[in-house]
Amino acid sequence: MKDEKTLAYINMYGILGALQDLCAVAPDAARLAGLGDALKPVRVCLAVKNGPALTLVFGGGVCTAIEGAAPCDILLPFGTFAKFNGLIEGTVTPFPRKGFSKISFLTKNFTALTGLLETCLRPNPEALADETFFRASTTIMFFLIARTLVQIGNFDPVGRFTRSNLAPGTVVLSIADGDRPPLRAAVIAAEDGLRFSREIPQSPHAVMEFSSIRLARDLFDGKVSALGSVGQGLIRMTGNLGMLDNINRMLDRVAVYLA
């Protein structure tokens, strides 16, 4: 079962946070974020009462996701976790408290960006035959999974129990990609919770590395077994195996929330 509060944090920092990655890997998204424009960046803040808040800054073809409520041009407040989750599910239409002069960006650019994001996160199998789209979609999924894992460890009741058994330190998730630089994300465990980072330490406490981007995609889509891939040496785990075991337990919960 999904916890409503946990889902709201995943939707905020995981799903909407993925707009930053979308604009970085998809030219159509970059254009919607202001590629080639000299306009002042547009700042959109989404905030849930007594819950998560995210400020998205769009400009120059880039989206920057800032955790928390920062000065903004458009403010979208939500009174409950359920109402915010309804936005992501498409059952709730937000009403801005601030930013009526920028409403066209919200109804056109922002809506188009979230539509492109959904296409990348729930692609048609035929679309994945295109190498460029395949890499963009898989990259977005990878960072989404890492951020979702953090929210599960911090808020999901089952995830919090697992996280309580996680020693302080850094676990690096990595996808080898031939001659290209690997995709990497760090999950940092501390006494007060988990944190996602793109900064990779030189000596992490544990590393989970997928042998290829194709393998990672098959795992994301549930086409292959993670346990079987470990047995075949397609997933390499080094360092503190106790930390990796707990990370794997939380990854099982990721599948529940992102299904």
Please say if the pLDDT value at position 130 is more than 80. yes
Residue 127 lies in a domain: no
Q: Do 139 and 244 sit in the same domain of this protein?
A: yes
Q: What is the pLDDT of residues 44-80, one digit of tens each?
A: 999 999 999 999 999 989 999 999 999 999 999 999 9
**CA nearest to 7, candidates 68, 52, 46, 57:** 52
Stretch 193-206: mean pLDDT, rounded?
96
Q: Do 151 and 115 sit in the same domain of this protein?
A: no
Q: Do 44 and 106 sit in the same domain of this protein?
A: yes
Decide if 10 contacts 148 (C-beta within 8 A). yes
Please say if the pLDDT value at position 166 is more than 90. yes
Structural domain containing residue 205: 133-258
Strands (E), the chain: 42-48, 53-59, 62-67, 74-78, 169-177, 180-190, 193-197, 206-210, 235-239
- Read off the CATH number of the domain in which 32 is found: 3.30.1050.10
Sign of the C-alpha dihedral computed for residues 200, 169, 248 and 156 taken in this order: negative
Q: Do 192 and 86 sit in the same domain of this protein?
A: no
Residue 137 token pair: 């979609």
67 vs 40, residue with greater confidence? 67
Strand partners, 76: 46
Q: Do 155 and 187 sit in the same domain of this protein?
A: yes
Coil, helix or strand at residue 226 = helix
Please say if the pLDDT value at position 36 is more than 60. no
What average pLDDT does the structure give for the chain?
93
Residue 153 lies in a domain: yes
Residue 128 lies in a domain: no
Q: What is the pLDDT of residues 19-32, one digit of tens each?
A: 999 999 999 999 99
The pLDDT of residue 74: 94
For the chain, how many structural domains are there in total? 2
Q: Do 149 and 216 sit in the same domain of this protein?
A: yes
The residue among 95, 121, 147 that closes a domain is: 121
